[in-house]
Amino acid sequence: MRLIADLHIHSRFSLATSPTTDLPTLAHWAKLKGINLLGSGDFTHPQWFSDLQHYLTPLENGLYSYQEVLFLLTVEVSVIWSQAQRLHKAHLLILAPNMQAAATINKELSKIGKLANNGRPTFGISAERLVETVWNAAPTAEVIPAHIWTPWFSVFGAKSGFDSLAQCFGKHTNRIFAVETGLSSDPAMNWRVSSLDQLAIISNSDAHSPPKLGREATLLNLPEPSYDSVIAAIKERDPNRFLGTVEFYPQEGKYHYDGHRKCGVVLHPREAIRLKNICPVCGKPLTIGVMHRVEELADRAEGEGPTQRFPVHHLVPLAEIIGQALRIGPESRGVTREYDRLIKRFGNEFRILLDLGEEDLRDGVPSRVLQGITKARAGDLKIKQGYDGVYGKVSIQFDQEEEKQLGLF
């Protein structure tokens, strides 16, 4: 059974999330997208954990079910601490094997921080102490460093990170078996750092609203899905079970390039280095992006990587493709109508974007939308780089003759 897994999401109890991020809406959008394994998100929050306990049906294999969608208990936590006279901040994704284990983790973490303040709680402890606390509470729980390159809250972030996992996790480094790319990087960028060769590279949406589910995801093949089989497939990186990832185009991520949002300055790392990482407009330090940080830690040239590499599928969300094809906003009623029609016709978004060939789609997809799908698959795009908290912009390069004939499909 192929599983499209999105394990890093949030509930309505996390800051800056949509109030519609509840279980019915999450399950609804997971089915629209074609996601069949979803992280619960935020299991440390008392009210959300109560909802999870009440509404999720246990399957006795570490997974849970709600409206035909599988759930695995997850939460992202933030740790902030001082080490070697520098302040460090990192976000970590915790995966729990069952409700009892999650409850025990919550009990121990409640002694360190206030769990009800935020669905993504913050603890004033080191990453090393955090993983010790989690594993003492639940030995088969797992911890994965989240969006490892983003500037402000990540293991390798320019503002508060480290140059190696060992500096962050110390004696527990060997227990870390996977890292998450984040929206501003993709596996190819991570392959340039040889110290990551023995780790699985996974991707998740970090969605703060249901429509953002699946913008990144991990592909698994598990005949009998369970908590243990999910962990084993990722950890062992067996190409028959770990099938690769679905990715944002990393240039679209909001921390890909260096820049200064206040001044509208966006720079390639080489240009930022030439300017000594100082904004040429206001003279203040630039926000150093993911690409710059990868360049600093990379010991391989661009395009190089380990022998074992897994498939990577860069996608543009269907609503964005439809919006660009129709020349209207991706959240407009016209896009919603066409999106719903296509989902009803073909099943789900990932089936349209990943599985069905051009001939399969030709009968039922407007020609200009189909052109957008095929060009997005081929990477025939123009991308304005994201920087300093500003998302980049992906523009599909439609044929010029079609551009002159608005409304012709």
Q: What's the CATH code of the domain at 187?
A: 3.20.20.140
Backbone region of residue 283 per phi and psi (left: phi > 0; alpha: psi in -120 to 50; beta: other values): left
Structural domain count, the chain: 2
User: Which of the listed residues 198, 224, 251 is the one where a domain comes to its end?
Assistant: 251
Please check whether residue 211 lies inside any domain of the structure.
Answer: yes
- Looking at the fold, whether 159 and 55 belong to one and the same domain comes out as yes
pLDDT band at 402 (very low <50, low <70, confident <90, very high): low
The pLDDT tens digits of the residues spanning 305-349 come to 999 999 999 999 999 999 999 999 999 999 999 999 999 999 999
Please check whether residue 65 lies inside any domain of the structure.
Answer: yes
What integer pLDDT is reported at residue 139 of this predicted model?
98
Query: Is residue 181 within 8 Å of residue 8, measured between CB atoms?
Result: no
Please check whether residue 281 lies inside any domain of the structure.
Answer: no
User: Which of the listed residues 225, 251, 277 is the one where a domain comes to its end?
Assistant: 251
> If you compute the radius of gyration of the chain from its CA atoms, what whole number of angstroms results?
21
Please report, rounded to a whole number, the percentage of residues in the chain having pLDDT higher than 70.
98
Please check whether residue 288 lies inside any domain of the structure.
Answer: no
- Whole-model pTM: value is 0.96
Please check whether residue 39 lies inside any domain of the structure.
Answer: yes
Tally DSSP H helices, then E strands, for the chain. 15, 18
What integer pLDDT is reported at residue 409 of this predicted model?
42
Residue 401 has pLDDT above 70, yes or no: no
Residue 145 has pLDDT above 50, yes or no: yes
User: Which of the listed residues 251, 266, 293 is the one where a domain comes to its end?
Assistant: 251
What one-character-per-residue DSSP string does 344-366 give?
A: HHHS-HHIIIII--HHHHHTTS-
What integer pLDDT is reported at residue 338 of this predicted model?
98
3 state SS of 246: strand
Residue 392 has pLDDT above 90, yes or no: yes
Range of the domain at 387: 316-403
Please check whether residue 278 lies inside any domain of the structure.
Answer: no
